[in-house]
């Protein structure tokens, strides 16, 4: 009896690693293995030991194969999608010199401002990279390292992103892809290569960086004998270049097939993101002008405070995450970890509009509304890239795709419906990042287009919810508080 081939899609996120065993023909997820890893730090620091990512990958692969009952001989390829922006510095043996600085580490905010000015301001960065440096971008973290830990920077024999680190462990190949590379602020989406002038600006030798593959589905190598032994797989299977987590989610949804502003997406996770696929190169300070993993572009807006911030408010109030109701007069800007959109890296949360009649459920509802408001404001910036009127029928009648852990929560879904006034689609696939990585693995194994593969799998389809009348009163309250509160939420350093 012939063996049905499977591929492995790895989602190495901020707090855990998930590996999906995916039927290469149907796209059906046969099993998902999970393993956690720790994030440490305070006062803006967020760090993880890269070795814990490898340990978690190994554990999640083993758990997934055991649960699926699939024989290792059936696995044809593997790809890693990783959290974006993290700075990994390695010695000559490939060992981490220090914990990785993660995307949500805000210590490099001063370096982001200094680099922006050093090149001549935001417009100069947009012209080269499509994005203006903020504290999340890798170049700012490298600059912070040079200033605060120069000995470590001097000892670095290699500089990697989180997914690059794992791909190299799998294949022995120092490779990345345009999607994840476009979040570094040293890769130019204009010339589709590392920008030598930017590398000189931050004092980074190009020889320390991985080669940029043509796309996330390019086969950059084969699983080494050592990695195969660690993972319980057969050596020689295809290893794809892989990509960043947002780019993999876009592939998993089949984005890229329709063209201009393809399928706007809101992702509700630890952080919140809004993104869409476009053939036009974006260049606006309101968004990160990322590249996609498939040759398209992926303009993206990100907020730091999403499900984690709302869950924290629920914990403080002693409520469950679904024990919420609309905030009424109560307004909260839940900037508990600083904020990226708007760019307030040292911000703290703000609560206003309390009355004697205010209930804990309304305060929790206000936290949901504040987080959703930040995302939807950023979505309006996304429409501006395509010269679309956010209030026009071409936008208001088009469904939003809602993904991420929050999309499984009733209150999150209803809050987005109420504040957006738009129909929603809830894709049926539960592990879109891992599914997208699996499509990249299939592309590497058989030379196929990963978006075509994912589209054939049908991962972007799901339940459709009709639009609700938009809650204009809540929207205008939030707009008014944000407009008048910048001096209150900003912690000037």
Q: Which residues are catalytic?
A: 245
Instruction: State the Cα–Cα distance between residues 469 and 212, nearest whole angstrom.
Output: 46
**For residue 216, what are the contacts with CB-CB under 8 A and spacing of at least 6?**
79, 177, 179, 240, 241, 242, 243, 247, 248, 251, 293, 294, 440, 443, 450
Report the 3 state secondary structure along 54-78. Answer: HHHHHHHHHHHHHHHCCCHHHEEEE
Measure the CA–CA gap between 442 and 439, rounded to whole angstroms: 5
Q: How many residues does the chain have?
A: 493
């Amino acid at each position: 009896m012939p063996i049905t081939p499977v591929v492995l899609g790895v989602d190495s996120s901020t707090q855990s690693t998930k590996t999906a065993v995916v039927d290469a023909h149907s796209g059906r997820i046969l099993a998902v293995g999970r393993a956690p890893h720790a994030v440490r730090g305070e006062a803006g620091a967020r760090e993880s030991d890269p070795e814990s990512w490898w340990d978690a990958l190994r554990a999640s692969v083993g758990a997934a194969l055991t649960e699926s009952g699939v024989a290792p001989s059936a696995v044809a390829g593997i790809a890693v999608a990783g959290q974006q922006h993290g700075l990994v510095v390695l010695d000559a043996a490939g060992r981490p010199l220090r914990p990785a600085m993660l995307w949500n580490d805000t210590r490099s905010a001063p370096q982001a401002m200094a680099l922006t000015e050093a090149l001549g301001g935001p417009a100069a960065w947009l012209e080269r990279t499509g994005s203006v440096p903020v504290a999340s971008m890798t170049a700012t973290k490298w600059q912070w390292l040079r200033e605060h830990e120069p000995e470590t920077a001097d000892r670095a024999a290699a500089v990697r992103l989180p997914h690059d680190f794992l791909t190299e462990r799998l294949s022995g190949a120092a490779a990345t892809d345009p999607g994840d590379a476009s979040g570094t602020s040293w890769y130019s989406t204009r010339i589709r290569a590392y920008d030598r002038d930017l590398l000189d600006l931050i004092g980074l030798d190009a020889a320390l960086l991985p080669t940029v593959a043509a796309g996330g589905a390019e086969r950059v190598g084969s699983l080494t004998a050592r990695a195969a032994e660690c993972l319980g797989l057969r050596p020689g299977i295809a290893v794809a270049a892989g990509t960043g987590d947002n780019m993999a989610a876009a592939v998993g949804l089949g984005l890229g097939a329709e063209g201009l502003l393809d399928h706007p997406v809101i992702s509700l996770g630890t952080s919140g993101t809004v993104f869409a696929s476009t053939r036009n190169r974006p260049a606006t300070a309101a968004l990160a002008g990322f590249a996609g993993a498939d040759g398209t572009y992926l303009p993206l807006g990100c907020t730091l405070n999403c499900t984690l911030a709302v869950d924290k408010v629920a914990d403080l109030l002693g409520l469950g995450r679904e024990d919420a109701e609309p905030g009424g007069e109560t307004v909260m800007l839940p900037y508990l970890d600083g904020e990226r959109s708007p760019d307030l890296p040292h911000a703290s949360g703000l609560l206003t509009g309390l009355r004697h009649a205010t209930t804990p459920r309304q305060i929790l509802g206000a936290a949901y509304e504040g987080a959703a408001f930040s995302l939807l404001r950023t979505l309006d910036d996304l429409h501006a890239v395509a010269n679309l009127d956010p209030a026009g029928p071409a936008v208001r009648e088009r469904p939003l795709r809602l993904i991420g852990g929050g999309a499984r929560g009733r209150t999150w879904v209803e809050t987005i419906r109420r504040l957006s006034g738009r129909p929603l689609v809830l894709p049926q696939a539960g592990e879109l990042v891992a599914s997208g990585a699996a499509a990249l693995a299939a592309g590497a194994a058989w030379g196929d287009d990963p978006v075509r593969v994912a589209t054939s799998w049908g991962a972007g389809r799901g339940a459709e919810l009709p639009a609700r009348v938009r809650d204009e009163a809540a929207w205008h309250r939030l707009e008014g508080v944000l407009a008048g509160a910048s001096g209150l939420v900003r912690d000037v350093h």
